[in-house]
Structure 1
Amino acid sequence: MRIRHTVLAATGGAALMAVAALPAAADPAVPPPAPPNPVFRTEATRQEAATEAPVTASQLLDKVTRCTQISRGKYRSDQGAAAKIPVCDAKGAVFWKADMDIDCDGQPTVRCNRQTDPYFQPTTAFQQSDGAQLNAEKLPFIVVPGPSSIWDYRVSGIRGGSVAAVIYKNKVQYAVVGDTGPTGIIGEASYATAKALGIDPHPSTGGAASGVTYIVFKQSRVSPIESRNAALTLGKSLARSFVKNN
């Protein structure tokens, strides 16, 4: 992570027709079998779908309208900005509402390197299962502030690989905690996270000035950290629990 400044048809044959024209043999004493109950089947299907339906952005946002501040102070969105962003506590998660700067640190790629990002660093705070740095271009991850007197993410049950739901303009992207940043600034995520949310992911000129909500689930962890499918599966499950319990 780096510190950024605010600038931001069908045809039928004759034979079939003849068969269709024949009178059907029927025994008036034997009534036809009753059709299955469509109401029962429809209701059962609806309930099953509701159980597995992914949580929506609006459902998550409805649960973070009030803030029980857990941080001892507040964070800046960028260097030079006013410190007015608190970290809030909830059942099973912490959350904050901020901007989104683009983190391209980690493995050098076509879109994340020293030429595209003047603040590029070839390392991330947490690494893949094979020891390699994270790939910001491919892996959705967020950046948490380094531990400080304002807030220590570790005390809240957050660690590398913890699952987060990032929400922007009615879209939800599940990500992992993949990097740490300056102790006084908050609001940053990887190139892949921004791209998935429809935010310009360019490390120098992209990002979102506001309107991004970060919900990080306590005591959660994706293993291996680089598995997008694992983050998605666990994220959906934790999001359902979060909506149910808050």
Structure 2
Amino acid sequence: MRKLILLAIMALAAAVLPAALASAATPSGSRPAAGPSAEQLLAKTTGCDQISNGKYKTDEDAADAGVAVCDGGSAVFWKADLDIDCDGQRTSQCNEDTDCCFQPDTAFHQSDGQPLNAAELPYIVVPSSSDIWDYQSANLHGGGSCAVIYNGKVEYAVIGDTGPDEIIGEASYATANDLGINPDPSNGGTDSGVTYICFKDSEVNPIEDHAAATSTGEDLATQFVNG
């Protein structure tokens, strides 16, 4: 009888322990990791239905313009480099001393009216509207949801700033840092290998809520992959 009781206790422990461990590993109220993998997202960007009127340079001194903006159905995407945007609120990471081109403002603002914080908020920069491409014509807006993919990692960000009208491939200090890219505005970034996917008609509100950006992005990315 004692043997049967012992076996019953062992069976119960085997059933309950994994769930208990999972509960302990995930803090109460937090959202478990979700959304498609980097590979699943990249598989949807192998071709390009070009919607830009021409192509962008990745840097001002680049010899050629080689980056097209592509339509992907529920999203638009482009493949480029990642330059560091450190504009917005002054922080120890982003200021006139750390960034030669620092600007104390961003095109889009927090819910309290303040510029975005590039050191803390993952956001991307879209080119200012021009003859090459008008991001608003693709139903993208400030605070829109985007997935940024690099080296097998996916970071969900918002559209937070606009940049030069002939250059593409820029994101905030926080975006680079989260992707494992050197975020230093003076010598950081990466020359290639970054895919930007921005979801049409999307909005993260408030724009500075990165948790909301992540959950919104995961849901939209799932729809993009399934579509």
Question: Shorter-normalised TM-score: what interval?
Answer: 0.7 to 0.9
Is it true that 1:211 corresponds to 2:193 in the alignment?
yes
> Does the residue aligned with 1:242 lie in a helix, a strand or coil?
helix
Q: Which residue of 1 aligns with 2:21?
A: none
Q: Which runs of 5+ in 2 are unaligned?
A: 6-32
Q: Which residue of 2 aligns with 1:195?
A: 177
> Does the residue aligned with 1:154 lie in a helix, a strand or coil?
helix
Identity %: 59
Q: Which residue of 2 aligns with 1:155?
A: 137
Q: Residues 34 and 218 of structure 2 are in contact (CA less than 8 Å); yes or no, is this contact kept in structure 1?
A: no
2: distance between equivalents of 1:99 and 1:174?
Answer: 17
Is it true that 1:182 corresponds to 2:179 in the alignment?
no
Is it true that 1:115 corresponds to 2:97 in the alignment?
yes
Q: Which residue of 1 aligns with 2:50?
A: 69
Q: Which amino acid aligns with 1:71?
A: S
Please list the CA deviations of residues 190-226 of structure 1 after superposition, one character each: whole Å capped at 9, or x if unmatched. Answer: 0000000000000010001100000000000000000
Is it true that 1:54 corresponds to 2:35 in the alignment?
yes
Q: Which residue of 1 aligns with 2:20?
A: none
Is it true that 1:80 corresponds to 2:82 in the alignment?
no
TM-score (norm 2): 0.86
Q: Which amino acid aligns with 1:60?
A: L
Q: Which amino acid aligns with 2:48?
A: C
2: distance between equivalents of 1:54 and 1:90?
Answer: 18
Q: Which amino acid aligns with 1:222?
A: V
Q: Which amino acid aligns with 2:157?
A: A
1: distance between equivalents of 2:211 and 2:151?
Answer: 23
> Does the residue aligned with 1:224 lie in a helix, a strand or coil?
coil
2: distance between equivalents of 1:76 and 1:220?
Answer: 26
Counterparts of residues 1-246 of structure 1 (less than 5 Å): 20=2, 53-81=34-62, 82-245=64-227
- Alpha-carbon distance, 1:53 to partner: 4.1
> Does the residue aligned with 1:214 lie in a helix, a strand or coil?
strand
Superposed structure 1 runs of 4+ greater than 2 Å apart: none
Q: Which amino acid aligns with 1:79?
A: E
Q: Which amino acid aligns with 1:138?
A: E
> Does the residue aligned with 2:223 lie in a helix, a strand or coil?
helix
Q: Which runs of 5+ in 1 are unaligned?
A: 1-18, 25-51
Q: What is the aligned-residue RMSD (CA, Å)? A: 1.6
